[in-house]
Chains A and B, each alone.
Chain A
Amino acid sequence: MIKYLFTVGLIFVLLECVQGQYEDVRCKCVCPSVKVHNTTSHKVFLKTFSDPDLCRCSMVVDKAVQETEYNFCNKCECKWNRRNTTTIKVVVILIICVVSLLVLYMLFLLCLDPLMARRPKTYIEQHNEEVNLDTQSIQPGGMLEDTTRPRGAIMMRVKHEVSRVRGEQQKWKGTVQEQRRHIYDRHTMLN
């Protein structure tokens, strides 16, 4: 839940700071090189138009350049493009977030989890700490909803939730283990 809120907040922050430096519409004309070289290199002319109808070679390329060669504009190819910088920004940052979250979780599963599994006692202690933090952060909302409920009941419920989540995680791990066995050990699938 907190993760969702964070993501939504992030998106809003990003939406706020849209920058105008990078234009979102352009007219791009690709023309043969003005000077005759040995190789066929091309020249690109750009201009910002909001109206796609204005995207013509005669509007984009300088008059001086146009006159260097007869029928210069006939050889040009003009295209009107539009993009949304905000979308790109949000998407790329989202991807970075997702990849880094996955990598962190992967490192946790690969390095810390086996260590904890070996010493179950410390593991439980650490876990309880996490639970306390969670309850504190959740408490205000919970208290508003149900003020008469004693703290112990909430604790119980949280503990129950946590054990349920642990169970789910264990189940998921078992499933992945099974999939790994199919693919990497027995080679019965996806060869």
Chain B
Amino acid sequence: METDTLIEDMASVQAHYRAVSANGTVSERSSTDEEMLDIATDTRFEYTDLADKSHGSTNLMDTLDDLPPGIGQYDDFHTIDWLRDISRDRIRHRQISKRKQDSCFAKVKVAHDAWSGWVCVLLVGCATGAFAAVIDVGTSWMSDLKEGICLEQFWFNREQCCWAVNDTTFDQNACSQWYSWSHLFGVSESSVFGSYMIKYIMYVLWAMVFATLAVMLVRVFAPYACGSGIPEIKTILSGFIIRGYLGKWTLIIKSVCMMLAVSAGLSLGKEGPLVHVASCCGNIFSYLFPKYGKNEAKKREILSAAAAAGVSVAFGAPIGGVLFSLEEVSYYFPLKTLWRSFFCALAAAFVLRSFNPFGNDHLVMFYVDYRNAWYLVELIPFIVLGVFGGIWGAVFIKGNIRWCRYRKSSNLGKFPITEVLVVTAVTAILAFPNPYTSDYQRNLTDATTDFTSANIDSGVTRAMWQLALALVFKMVITVFTFGIKVPAGLFIPSMAIGAIAGRMIGIGMEQLAYSHREHYLFKEMCHSGHTCVTPGLYAMVGACATLGGVTKMTVSLVVIMFELTGGLQYIVPLMAAAMTAKWIGDAFDKEGIYDAHIKLNGYPFLDSKEEFTHTTIAADVMRPKRTEPPLCVLTQDSMTVEQIEAIMRETDHNGFPVIVSAESQYLVGFVLRRDLSIAISSARTNHDGIVSNSVVYFTNHVPVNTVVGGPEPLKLRKILDMAPVTITDQTPMETVVEMFRKLGLRQTLVTHNGRLLGIITKKDILRHIAQLKNQDPDSILFN
């Protein structure tokens, strides 16, 4: 029976051919043939391609000669179809290069097309570098504003203010040009209590002012600017649309509020937000080049490069940035993108370096420069630090996610501004008395504090106490800080925690080695006049370990750390710590903090690192399920505009399969809801002949006799995807999941004996995975 219909169908096509040859001119026929050839050779087709070819034929091909704008784009909170976008780009490219021989202008066009990716990443890199420089300068100035002001040159921070003043002692780090608030208010330094209180109050006050500004600006202008941004960017790069997340306002507000939030002394960093800022630059500049601006899949190549530039400027680690983009953020990372990321990170680092924001010829404030060797025995404390990092990472992820879930579901979420203010007040009040927490990262990895090993004395004991208190305080407050509604990065607080822990262990080791100088383990470590152990190195390793435990990064982290320190000799300690931290952390929970946040928010992110090991088949996952009404389909040549509009009104599916006829259920193609509604509404306004009774044709050929007397047919072949990915109902889900990951599918159609049976979308797969893990499948929120 099915064969009969098929033959019948073929016959009608043949008949139509004859009709065309009889009626039409030669040019019409040739265009039709070419069209057929095109379909045969190139299953995925380009809209403009067709528009060009149907040019000149008397409306034979399609009602919509030029497609209305918006087709091929996506709605907010939708998943993109990588295959479709990439093939669109390929066809566009082929078209441009085909015309290469035509004229000189066309040649220029080809050249422009070829280098536009590089130009775009260059611009992105430069913009990112400039933004980072402004943010770095601004942050250090505002942070010091909490303590005082450089009266003569108010735009200098404390260090710049005392730049050329001799006789500064290292410990006080102050000079006569720098006025602390107590000094400014006329409280003499002699009344210790009075000046301390003034300083304290001003510190808290400024912190509150900065935090209020940050949270209000975020709320009023760009709510998307809050948080770290990396989970969302990860989701966007995996092929999801969040409109406005990478927009102009988000860029400005995030940059400004990042400075304010860091200056407020909150336990957060500006590294994650810098990645977001860089991605915003990437998005904005990609609109200068239609090749990237109009194609979501291509745009993500630029965004991957931008993410690399973000880390490049945040840590002064260009290669680390590229690896970060590859390991942590990006989803689709071909070699071409690797080179572009490399170039983008290079450009960003170069621009930042030429601004020289810290006046030390380095890209970061906390650049450390160690030359001391390390010894094999020290691997043991390094691994201990790794264990600490892993455990802390697991505890932090658990605690932070629990707190965020509580915030999401309880009344706490209704008072975001109050929450920020309370956290700021607590942080400022508790942080000020402790020199290790009151200052932004400066003290923690300083190399110059200890020159020679000395016996334990009152200074060291006090420092140990302060460090211990700082560690506990930082650990607790960071759990509550990450997730408040200001731009908040995680890298710096994690690293600070690790650095404090590392320094404590380092000092412990130093004392141990110093007191057992003659022991065979420490014999070679303690040379005369030389320090036995470098606590700063331990701080560095500790920072690496905790960051590894929290984010579950390995390679990129180690590269970032050694680019930060400029010492290749410390790679082995760093690697040992990062690897231990990852093992220990994975033993508790496999996912890093960013994946945990993605899951908490229910973003449709199909992790390519996880393995799918269940034995279900496509028929189990496919929609409609047995109890549900049948799949909502369109037929290729028998539905009217009215019927289609009714279907679109009644359902909220994002796409409709098109079949030959309701009896045969043979699949023709797939049409997206957005394209369909845009096409129909624009046809209704632009073509008078299109009325509710018009029959919609998704086929190439419209039977000529229907036109007589009746309403004009609406031909929508151009918006139909003729090559949807299909699988059979017996395909194992392992394969299906792999297809979704590797090909970046948005949906796949399920067939049985060639007939359409159902559909599997990315959301269905995410739901299925959640269900198999005994989680609530409805936590996946978006399509």
Contacts and interface: CB of A to CB of B under 8 A. Distances in A.
B515 interface: no
Interface of A: 19, 22-23, 26, 30, 32, 38-46, 48, 75, 77, 79, 81-85, 87-89, 91-95, 98-99, 102-103, 106, 109-110, 172, 175-176, 179-180, 182-184, 187-191
Given A44-B168, A91-B138, A188-B601, 5 more contacts: A45-B166, A88-B137, A88-B141, A91-B134, A184-B223
Contacts of B581: none
B149 to A, nearest CB: 12
Contacts of B781: 188
29 contacts: A39-B459, A40-B454, A42-B171, A43-B170, A45-B166, A46-B165, A79-B360, A82-B361, A83-B359, A85-B153, A87-B137, A88-B155, A89-B155, A92-B155, A95-B134, A102-B217, A102-B221, A103-B217, A106-B221, A176-B221, A176-B222, A179-B224, A179-B244, A180-B223, A183-B223, A184-B416, A189-B242, A191-B404, A191-B405
B451 A32 contact: yes
Contacts of B171: 41-42
Nearest to A87: B355
Contacts of A32: 451
Interface in B143-197: 153-156, 160, 163-171
Contact of B170 (A42, A79, A88, A175): A42
B134 A94 contact: yes
A40 B459 contact: yes
A23 B359 CA distance: 12
B408 interface: yes
Contacts of B141: 88, 92, 95
A102 B256 CA distance: 10
A184 B485 CA distance: 9
Contact of A92 (B137, B252, B452, B457): B137
Interface string B696-740: 000000000000000000000000000000000000000000000
Nearest to B231: A190
Nearest to A23: B164
Interface string B196-224: 00000000000000000100110111111
Contacts, number: 162
B601 A84 contact: no
A82 B357 CA distance: 10
Contacts of B451: 32, 40, 75
Interface string B463-501: 000000000000000000001010000000000000000
B269 interface: no
A190 B169 contact: no
B227 A190 contact: yes
Contacts of A44: 166-170
A30 B170 contact: yes
B169 A95 contact: no
B360 A81 contact: yes
Interface of B: 133-134, 137-138, 141, 153-156, 160, 163-171, 213, 216-217, 219-224, 226-227, 232, 242-244, 249, 252-253, 256, 259-260, 355-357, 359-361, 404-405, 407-409, 413-414, 416, 448-452, 454, 457-459, 483, 485, 597, 600-602, 781
A22 B169 CA distance: 19
A93 B223 contact: no
A137 to B, nearest CB: 25
A12 to B, nearest CB: 17
Contacts of B454: 40
Nearest to A93: B155
A22 B223 contact: no
**Which interface residue of A44, A85, A88 has the most chain B CB atoms within 10 A?**
A88
Contacts of A46: 164-166, 168
Interface centre among B166, B223, B226, B260 (most CB of A within 10 A): B223
A19 B223 CA distance: 41
Contacts of A95: 134, 137-138, 141, 256, 259
Nearest to B165: A46
Contact of B163 (A83, A109, A110, A176): A83
Contacts of A38: 457-459
Contacts of A82: 356, 359, 361
Contact of A191 (B138, B155, B450, B600): B600
Given A91-B137, A180-B219, A190 B224 contact: yes
A41 B450 CA distance: 10
Given A39-B459, A182-B223, A187 B360 contact: no
A99 B256 contact: yes
Question: Ordered nearest first, which 10 A-B pairs have the shortest CB separation?
Answer: A83-B359, A92-B155, A42-B170, A179-B223, A23-B164, A95-B138, A91-B137, A187-B408, A190-B227, A191-B408
B153 A22 contact: yes
Contacts of B356: 82-84, 87
Nearest to B448: A30
Nearest to B247: A175
A110 B249 CA distance: 17
A189 B170 contact: no
B359 A81 contact: yes
A48 B165 CA distance: 10
A99 B361 CA distance: 28
Contacts of B213: 99, 103
Q: Which of B170, B252, B361, B449 has the largest number of chain A CB atoms within 10 A?
A: B170
A64 to B, nearest CB: 15
Given A26-B164, A32-B451, A190 B601 contact: yes
Contacts of B260: 99
